[in-house]
Amino acid sequence: MTGVALLLIVTSALIHASWNFLLKKSGGGAGLISASCLASLVVYAPAIAAVVWWQGYSPEPIHFLLMFTSGMIHTVYFLTLDRAYRSGGDLSIVYPLARATGPLITIVVAIVLLGERPGFFALAGAALIGVSAILLTGNPLAWRKNGSGKAAGFAILTGCIIALYTVCDKAAVAKWLVPPLIFDWGCNLFRSLVLIPYTEKRQPGATLKAWRERRGTILAIACLSPLSYIFVLWAMVFTPVSIVAPAREVSILFAAILGAHFLREGDLGRRLVAAAGMVLGIAGLTLG
């Protein structure tokens, strides 16, 4: 993995953990997710216009199909992740489970279907990151006692969805050469066209209510969520997805720190040991 790819992924990880922290802290809800998607369309519209003009981008029909497919998968991702947080799961349990499950599945798919062949150190690093992520969640046997069992189930389901959209999006930006910024915006457009009517049908007025009550959080998520994934898409243009997916797991470390410090979820010693494992895992990915 190149230094540029590593910088993009680490920066993305910090941003990604930050908006998840805001989502968990705010209490989430479909109205907030819908408002954030809509706000991000407006926020990033000038940048999209500039990229289209500068690059002379001319979309092909397959590009719209890829954006629609990814947008629908991301819709399920956002709703499932939000449900995991609202089911009572701590940030330090839900986030590591979701982020660790996705890359492990992605690596298998990349090797079997995409023909990628990561080296020994890369595979060892990915495995170490996965183990460290599970360590961050604590004792799985205690989840039922503290009411986190349901949240953990939704978190694992979220991880499966992450694997699905990661492989799809890799093909979009690397094989079909859709510019990352445009691809993410297009996905969000299709996602908003489905998510907002769905939300309003189930909870009339929820989107506007969320905007009135939590406007600052919505704007922050609207800016940070697309940006974090755009960096990942750029990295995937020139880096195998079997390397990018596990490298993103450094975001788990940032989420654990935020959960421990600001949400007072505790157990700092275990988190530090897991953090050390993640650092070594990232080193393996870089060497592999």
CA distances from 14 to 86, 90, 103, 105 (A): 22, 18, 17, 22
- The predicted pLDDT at position 259 comes to 67
Structure tokens at 272: 């530090």
- The predicted pLDDT at position 85 comes to 84
Q: Contact 108/167 with Cβ under 8 angstroms?
A: no
- The predicted pLDDT at position 263 comes to 60
Give me the DSSP letters along 46-100.
Answer: HHHHHHHHHHT----HHHHHHHHHHHHHHHHHHHHHHHHHHTT--HHHHHHHHHH
Domain locations in the chain as residue ranges: 3-287
Tens of pLDDT, residues 194-214? 999 999 999 999 999 999 999
Sequence-distant contacts of 143-149: CB under 8 A, at least 24 apart: 143/93, 147/88, 148/88, 148/89, 148/90, 148/93
Q: Which residue has the tokens 């699905």?
A: 164
Residues of the chain with pLDDT under 70: 89, 92, 136-149, 256, 259-268, 286, 288
- The predicted pLDDT at position 131 comes to 82
- The predicted pLDDT at position 267 comes to 66
d(CA 97, CA 119): 25
